[in-house]
């Protein structure tokens, strides 16, 4: 196998991406006969790519095509779907998974949910080096991206298989002469529209002015005429500046013309008029996102979208006022297949009651407002995994649904309690220990005392404390959380002047952030403390006198970020005109040290 590997590596012609992808392909092969089969195909593919590369400076797509050909059938659609996203775009893994599920690319397998299955598919594509990891946390992929050359292959294959069409309006000169970047037949099933690559071209504006029928011209402009939209299963529109086009297009979204549409993304758009009532005609829609878009009012027409699995309503109003969501209570209760619900950040609702018990499939609920709704109703959401509650009056309200007999206690994986009004008591926080699967916890609000480590969730890997105003050093408790890898300590979480990181404490901690802890003056780090720490961020801790001496013993530290600290503090860590600062010896071993001043 070693000899076969060396011969295949030679065929890569020194192309780094080809070598990496070939390695990813071979990593899935565990027998000599499998390597021999790859070797047989490698010579034809890689030599063809090498010849083109030498002649044209391109042709790497032919090299990468070998990895695509080896991908199992079910992964091919997942890979081609990545072509929707613009070049160099950070693709949120969670969003991608939800879209794959909405399209029915994968079905549930055994006891695994559809999301669990497709997350495995994404991991497989990453393992084959066909997809690059962007950001990750606690071993979980947060964002991913395609290498430019891999994206070229993706779009090429998508065009061959009539899988996807890209419409880039900034590369078009007029409505009448518009040609999509990736040309497919009228039976294309997926379309992505890019509208923000640069300021709108003057010729486009001129072409729009004399139009007699603006609706028809706008539809033609984005290639959304009825005759080429009946087969669409997904429509993704990216970052609009020319906002007047989109409402016109959506006026034509009726049941007949978009009868197969499953996924619709209208994120970061400026919509100067209401989302048309016709949006409610897309009765087969399973994924709808209005994230970070500007809307003047709540789109009540979505009450008809009973098949929705993912609904992202994190839009906003230009005036900055809470969104008037009268009627949202009736809308939500009708969506019995909903799995992921993201509510507006600020909203006003009427007095009608949400039928939360109808949402028996809900797994994600973000921005539940404790002032608008009754927290105890959440006990009816038996499959809930991820929960963000804000404006909760007291932690005791939440404790009432935390008991061994409640499914939430067994299923909850991520919990964010933001802006808890009353002080959280130690005895109440102990109830969190029954959440055996909870790995992410955010507590925003004053805490009297932290419970001992054995009264905290046993599998906690990520913890954020915000405005806790603790009076005792919490390190003796937190450092005994053996699975903790990420710790955010923010905004006056502690009112004392000293904190001590003890020897052998925080054995798994990789990321530590101290942000706006104004009272802290001294940090003590014992030898052998935080033996796995890779990334340390100290930001706006204005009273901190210096970095701790013990940093020089943390040999795993790769990144040190210092932000919005006094000049004297930063100069002690810098080398200026060849002269080392007083504390530079403590961080000399750190490969990356950055200084940022936001003030």
* Mean pLDDT (whole number) for 50-75: 62
pLDDT above 70 for 184: no
Q: Lowest mean pLDDT of 8-17, 87-96, 304-313, 502-511, name the range.
A: 8-17
Whether residue 310 is contained in a domain is answered as no
Q: Lowest mean pLDDT of 295-299, 429-433, 492-496, name the range.
A: 295-299
Whether residue 281 is contained in a domain is answered as no
Q: Residue 279: what pLDDT?
A: 79
- What pLDDT, in 10s, does the model give residues 112-170? 788 888 899 999 898 888 899 988 877 789 999 998 888 988 998 998 888 999 988 75
- At 269, the pLDDT band (50, 70, 90 cuts) reads confident
pLDDT above 70 for 599: no
Top pLDDT among 259 and 59 is at: 259
Do 266 and 253 meet the contact criterion of CB atoms below 8 Å apart?
Answer: no
Same domain for 122 and 31: yes
- Tokens for 239? 């970052």
pLDDT above 80 for 480: yes
Say how far apart CA 104 and CA 120 lie, in whole Å.
15
Q: Residue 404: what pLDDT?
A: 79
Same domain for 147 and 18: yes
Q: Residue 536: what pLDDT?
A: 98
Residues in the chain, overall count: 599
Q: Please tell me whether residue 257 adopts helix, strand or coil conformation.
A: coil
Q: Lowest mean pLDDT of 281-285, 463-467, 511-515, name the range.
A: 281-285
Q: Lowest mean pLDDT of 6-15, 233-242, 302-311, 398-407, name the range.
A: 6-15
* Mean pLDDT (whole number) for 550-568: 96
Strand-pair partners of 447: 424
Q: Lowest mean pLDDT of 144-158, 251-265, 444-458, name the range.
A: 251-265
Top pLDDT among 575 and 177 is at: 575
Between β-strands 559-563 and 522-525, what pairing exists: parallel, antiparallel or unpaired? unpaired
pLDDT above 60 for 217: no
Question: In what helix (H) or strand (E) does residue 36 lie, and over which residues does it extend?
Answer: helix 32-56
As to burial, measured by CB atoms within 10 angstroms (0-12 exposed, 13-18 middle, 19+ buried), residue 197 is: middle
Same domain for 430 and 567: no
Q: Lowest mean pLDDT of 164-173, 383-392, 395-404, 554-563, name the range.
A: 164-173
Task: Give DSSP secondary structure letters for 125-159.
Answer: HHHTTSSEE--EETTEE-EEE--HHHHHHHHHHHH
Say how far apart CA 487 and CA 450 lie, in whole Å.
15
Q: Lowest mean pLDDT of 212-221, 398-407, 530-539, name the range.
A: 212-221
* Mean pLDDT (whole number) for 79-87: 94
Do 514 and 488 meet the contact criterion of CB atoms below 8 Å apart?
Answer: no
Do 581 and 571 meet the contact criterion of CB atoms below 8 Å apart?
Answer: yes
- Report the range out of 21-30, 69-78, 380-389 with the highest average pLDDT: 380-389
pLDDT above 90 for 108: no
Cα diameter, the chain: 76
Q: Residue 295: what pLDDT?
A: 79
Do 314 and 343 meet the contact criterion of CB atoms below 8 Å apart?
Answer: yes
- Tokens for 184? 């497919």
Q: Residue 32: what pLDDT?
A: 61
Whether residue 92 is contained in a domain is answered as yes
Domain boundary (92, 119, 151) is at 151
Q: Lowest mean pLDDT of 5-9, 311-315, 534-538, name the range.
A: 5-9
Whether residue 220 is contained in a domain is answered as no
pLDDT above 60 for 20: no
Q: Lowest mean pLDDT of 101-115, 182-196, 349-363, 523-537, name the range.
A: 182-196
Same domain for 534 and 409: no
| Per-residue CA distances from 481 to 182, 195, 459 (Å) | 51, 47, 8
Say how far apart CA 338 and CA 313 lie, in whole Å.
13
Q: Residue 518: what pLDDT?
A: 96
Q: Residue 250: what pLDDT?
A: 60
Same domain for 598 and 483: yes
* Mean pLDDT (whole number) for 64-89: 87
As to burial, measured by CB atoms within 10 angstroms (0-12 exposed, 13-18 middle, 19+ buried), residue 22 is: buried
Whether residue 107 is contained in a domain is answered as yes
As to burial, measured by CB atoms within 10 angstroms (0-12 exposed, 13-18 middle, 19+ buried), residue 577 is: exposed
pLDDT above 60 for 46: no
pLDDT above 80 for 18: no
Same domain for 143 and 6: yes
User: How many domains are contained in the chain?
Assistant: 3
Q: Residue 460 CA to chain centroid, in angstroms?
A: 20
Do 429 and 455 meet the contact criterion of CB atoms below 8 Å apart?
Answer: yes
Q: Residue 200: what pLDDT?
A: 41
Same domain for 140 and 89: yes
Say how far apart CA 427 and CA 450 lie, in whole Å.
9
Whether residue 344 is contained in a domain is answered as no
pLDDT above 80 for 204: no
Question: In what helix (H) or strand (E) does residue 70 lie, and over which residues does it extend?
Answer: helix 60-70
Whether residue 527 is contained in a domain is answered as yes
Domain boundary (151, 167, 184) is at 151
Q: Residue 353: what pLDDT?
A: 77
Do 223 and 188 meet the contact criterion of CB atoms below 8 Å apart?
Answer: no
Same domain for 397 and 506: no
Same domain for 147 and 24: yes
Whether residue 584 is contained in a domain is answered as yes
Domain boundary (395, 426, 460) is at 460
pLDDT above 60 for 370: yes
* Mean pLDDT (whole number) for 281-300: 87
Average pLDDT over all residues of the chain = 82
- At 105, the pLDDT band (50, 70, 90 cuts) reads confident
Same domain for 145 and 23: yes
Query: Dihedrals φ, ψ of 498, to 5°?
Result: -135, 150
Q: Residue 209: what pLDDT?
A: 43
Same domain for 111 and 44: yes
Q: Lowest mean pLDDT of 15-19, 360-364, 419-423, 467-471, name the range.
A: 15-19
Same domain for 67 and 127: yes
Do 286 and 309 meet the contact criterion of CB atoms below 8 Å apart?
Answer: yes
Q: Which domain holds residue 127?
A: 2-151
- Report the range out of 178-182, 203-207, 382-386, 402-406 with the highest average pLDDT: 382-386
Say how far apart CA 410 and CA 73 lie, in whole Å.
35
Q: Lowest mean pLDDT of 47-56, 231-240, 475-484, 567-576, name the range.
A: 47-56
Q: Closest by alpha carbon to 289, among 82, 96, 158?
A: 96
């Amino acid at each position: 196998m070693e000899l076969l590997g060396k011969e295949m590596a030679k065929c890569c012609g020194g192309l780094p991406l080809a070598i990496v992808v070939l390695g990813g392909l071979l990593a899935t092969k565990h027998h000599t006969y499998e390597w021999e089969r790859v070797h047989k195909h490698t010579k034809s593919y890689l030599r063809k790519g090498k010849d083109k590369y030498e002649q044209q400076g391109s042709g790497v797509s032919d090299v990468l095509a070998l990895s695509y050909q080896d991908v199992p059938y079910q992964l091919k659609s997942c890979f081609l779907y990545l072509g929707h996203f613009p070049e160099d775009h950070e693709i949120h893994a969670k969003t991608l998974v939800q879209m794959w599920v909405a399209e029915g690319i994968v079905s549930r397998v055994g006891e695994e949910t559809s999301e669990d299955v497709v997350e495995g598919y994404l991991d497989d594509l990453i393992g084959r080096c066909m997809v690059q990891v962007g950001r990750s946390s606690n071993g979980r992929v947060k964002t991913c991206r395609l290498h430019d050359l891999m994206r070229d292959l993706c779009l090429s294959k998508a065009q061959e298989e009539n899988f996807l069409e890209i419409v880039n309006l900034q590369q078009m000169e007029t409505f009448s002469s518009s040609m999509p970047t990736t040309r497919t037949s009228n039976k294309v099933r997926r379309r992505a529209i890019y509208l923000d690559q640069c300021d709108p071209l003057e010729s486009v504006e001129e072409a729009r002015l004399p139009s007699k029928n603006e609706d028809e011209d706008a539809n033609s402009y984005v290639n959304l005429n009825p005759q080429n939209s009946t087969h669409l299963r997904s429509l993704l529109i990216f970052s609009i500046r020319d906002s007047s086009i989109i409402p016109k297009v959506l006026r034509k979204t009726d049941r007949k013309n978009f009868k197969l549409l499953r996924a619709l993304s209208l994120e970061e758009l400026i919509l100067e008029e209401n989302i048309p009532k016709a949006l409610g005609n897309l009765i087969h829609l399973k994924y709808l996102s209005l994230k970070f878009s500007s809307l003047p009012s709540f789109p009540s027409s979505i009450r008809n979208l009973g098949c929705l699995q993912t609904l992202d309503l994190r839009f906003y109003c230009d005036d900055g006022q809470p969104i008037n969501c009268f009627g949202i209570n009736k809308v939500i209760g009708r969506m019995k297949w909903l799995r992921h619900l993201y509510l507006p950040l600020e909203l006003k609702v009427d007095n009608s009651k949400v039928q939360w018990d109808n949402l028996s499939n809900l797994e994600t609920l973000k921005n539940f407002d404790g002032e608008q709704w009754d927290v105890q109703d959440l006990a009816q959401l038996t499959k809930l995994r991820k929960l963000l509650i804000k404006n909760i009056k007291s932690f005791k309200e939440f404790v009432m649904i935390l008991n061994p007999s409640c499914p939430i206690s067994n299923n909850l994986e991520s919990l964010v309690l933001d802006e808890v009004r009353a002080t959280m008591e130690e005895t109440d926080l102990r109830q969190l220990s029954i959440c055996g699967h909870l790995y992410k916890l955010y507590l925003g609000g004053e805490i009297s005392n932290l419970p001992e480590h054995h009264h905290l969730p046993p599998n906690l890997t990520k913890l954020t404390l915000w405005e806790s105003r603790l009076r005792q050093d919490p390190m003796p408790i937190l450092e005994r959380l053996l699975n903790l890898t990420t710790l955010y300590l923010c905004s006056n979480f502690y009112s004392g002047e000293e904190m001590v990181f003890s020897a052998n404490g925080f054995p798994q901690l990789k990321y530590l952030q101290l942000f706006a802890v104004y009272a802290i003056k001294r940090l003590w780090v014992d030898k052998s403390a935080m033996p796995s720490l890779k990334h340390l961020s100290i930001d706006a801790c204005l009273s901190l006198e210096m970095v701790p001496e013990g940093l020089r013993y943390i040999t795993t530290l790769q990144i040190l970020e210092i932000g919005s600290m006094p000049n004297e503090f930063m100069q002690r860590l810098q080398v200026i005109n060849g002269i080392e600062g007083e504390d530079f010896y403590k961080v000399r071993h750190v490969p990356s040290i950055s200084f940022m001043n936001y003030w």
